């Protein structure tokens, strides 16, 4: 079993690939209880013309197809940015056990910043949440992407 930092580095790699495709650089990796990567992907909303093609959603879909089940208990999702409400809801429905994210999303965060979807006891599943793993690297990737899109310079 690899370290949490290793899985987040894989997610950062997926985020970088997303940026190279012109997508917002967010990457996700789903890991099973034994530490095996089940699925990994980055944002593809533009490429797929799909507002739901966030990295988290794509990874959950891939894992569901691979495992033959939409429920993914015992898994951990590593994602470079705090999930939005849509993605947080999907994590609850999929019964993902644990979420580890990098940077917070103060404008659209569905897990800690604006909403606490995974900790709402009115829902039928609670999600263990850890934030801040490689947060600076995740935030820099996003800031550089948007700065470059606005025509500014990229931080070194």
**Residue pLDDT, tens place only, 86-113:** 999 999 999 999 999 999 999 999 999 9
Q: What's the burial of 12, exposed, middle or buried (CB within 10 Å: 0-12/13-18/19+)?
A: buried
β 37-42/76-81 pair status: unpaired
- Report, as residue numbers or ranges, the catalytic residues: 56
Residue found under tokens 């979420």: 99
pLDDT value, residue 112? 97
The pLDDT, as a whole number, for residue 154 is 59
**DSSP class of residue 119?**
G
Q: Which residues of the chain have pLDDT under 70?
A: 152-156
- pLDDT for residue 153: 61
What is the pLDDT at residue 155?
A: 57
């Amino acid at each position: 079993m690899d370290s949490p930092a290793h899985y987040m580095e894989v997610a950062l790699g997926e985020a970088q690939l997303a940026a190279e495709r012109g997508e917002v650089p967010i990457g996700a990796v789903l890991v099973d209880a034994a530490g095996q990567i089940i699925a990994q992907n980055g944002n593809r909303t533009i490429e797929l013309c799909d507002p739901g093609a966030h990295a988290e959603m794509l990874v959950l879909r891939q894992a569901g197809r691979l495992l033959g089940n939409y429920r993914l208990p015992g898994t951990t999702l590593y994602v470079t940015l705090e999930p939005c409400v849509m993605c947080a809801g999907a994590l609850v429905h999929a019964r993902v056990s644990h979420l580890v994210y990098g940077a917070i999303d103060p404008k659209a965060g569905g897990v800690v910043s604006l909403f606490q979807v995974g900790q709402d006891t009115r829902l039928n599943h609670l999600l263990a949440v850890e934030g801040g793993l490689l947060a600076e690297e995740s935030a820099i990737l996003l800031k550089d992407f948007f700065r470059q899109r606005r025509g500014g310079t990229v931080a070194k």
